[in-house]
């Protein structure tokens, strides 16, 4: 069968015992390597799992899924996913393809940013729709995500923003010329996301979030060196939380005083944080 295994958020030891047993017994093991990354290299995973891994890039997963599924009707084929198997729609597509081919499939779950973001102290029940922020270019600045953020804001809910990563992707010029020459990997930071959010707000002018709106940036969540920072979007746009991966949370209007007490520990500047909180949420 096809077994899609979640790896968790940080390193090789985050895999579940159930997942590790499946990996060790499988005929082939693929490592999905473009929707997210672990904080350790492939060779460290191979050493811990005791077997080789086949890197599955976007092109293979989206265009050559039959190659991954070959032989899965008679042997176990494992597809490793950072976080939880259902954290990206691509993995649902792979499971649908297995279903079409009458290949049995199952998933082994793990922690994902969708639940681990609760480490900020913001209550998961108070989150609305999750959105993705892509890298802007000079000529391409998509803002469809803004409508989802605005909807969350209107009903008082926080917004988790997942940030763009570019792994094994060609430049527009090389893509136009049909050349398989790839750009160096890039990972969006919480600071870049906050800056782009302010840029879109200035363009749209619909008042969802401004420079003084409060947000929480997280980096390397689940690792020993995870970092968090809370402040205004302006402050976050100037922040440096270190190496990837990063995410950003925009606070909703329903923010509770217990959430305030928790995230204040990570304030870039406590006086500014307190002032903005009182203006936006009332004195606690």
Strand order, beta sheet including 77-81: 54-56, 28-32, 77-81, 2-6, 105-108
CB neighbours of 165 closer than 8 A, spacing ≥ 6?
Answer: 34, 35, 36, 37, 185, 186, 187, 188, 244, 245
Q: What pLDDT, in 10s, does the model give residues 186-201?
A: 999 999 999 999 999 9
Please state, in angstroms and rounded to a whole number, the distance separating the CA atoms of residues 146 and 161.
Answer: 11
Q: Partners of 247 in the beta sheet?
A: 162, 218
Percentage of the residues of the chain whose pLDDT score is greater than 90: 77
pLDDT of residue 30: 95
Please state, in angstroms and rounded to a whole number, the distance separating the CA atoms of residues 36 and 203.
Answer: 29
With beta carbons less than 8 A apart as the criterion, state whether 7 and 102 touch.
no
pLDDT of residue 265: 96
Q: Partners of 229 in the beta sheet?
A: 217
Is pLDDT of 34 > 90?
no
Which one-letter DSSP state was computed for residue 265? G
pTM beyond cutoff 0.85: yes
């Amino acid at each position: 069968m096809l077994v899609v295994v979640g790896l968790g958020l940080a390193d090789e030891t985050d895999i579940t015992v159930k997942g590790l047993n499946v990996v060790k017994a499988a005929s082939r093991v693929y490592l999905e390597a473009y929707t997210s990354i672990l904080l350790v290299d492939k060779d460290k995973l191979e050493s811990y799992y005791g077997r080789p891994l086949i890197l599955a890039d976007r092109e293979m997963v989206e265009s050559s899924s039959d190659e991954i599924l070959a032989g899965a009707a008679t042997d176990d084929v494992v597809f490793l996913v950072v976080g939880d198997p259902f954290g990206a729609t691509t993995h649902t597509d792979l499971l649908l393809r297995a279903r079409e081919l009458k290949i049995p499939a199952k998933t082994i779950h793990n922690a994902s940013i969708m639940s681990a973001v609760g480490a900020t102290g913001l209550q998961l029940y108070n989150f609305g729709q999750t959105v993705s922020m892509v890298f802007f270019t000079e000529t391409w600045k998509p803002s469809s995500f803004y409508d989802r953020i605005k909807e969350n804001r209107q009903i008082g809910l926080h917004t988790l923003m997942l940030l763009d990563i570019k792994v094994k992707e060609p430049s527009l010029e090389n893509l136009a010329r049909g050349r398989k020459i790839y750009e160096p990997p890039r990972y969006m930071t919480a600071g870049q996301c906050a800056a782009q959010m302010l840029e879109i707000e200035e363009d749209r002018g619909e008042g969802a979030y401004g420079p003084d709106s409060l947000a929480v940036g997280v980096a390397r969540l689940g690792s020993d060196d995870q970092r968090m920072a809370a402040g205004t979007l302006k402050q976050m746009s100037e922040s440096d939380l270190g190496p990837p991966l990063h995410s950003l949370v925009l606070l909703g209007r329903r923010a509770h005083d217990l959430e305030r007490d928790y995230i204040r520990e990570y304030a870039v500047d406590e006086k500014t944080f307190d002032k903005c909180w009182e203006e936006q949420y009332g004195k606690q």
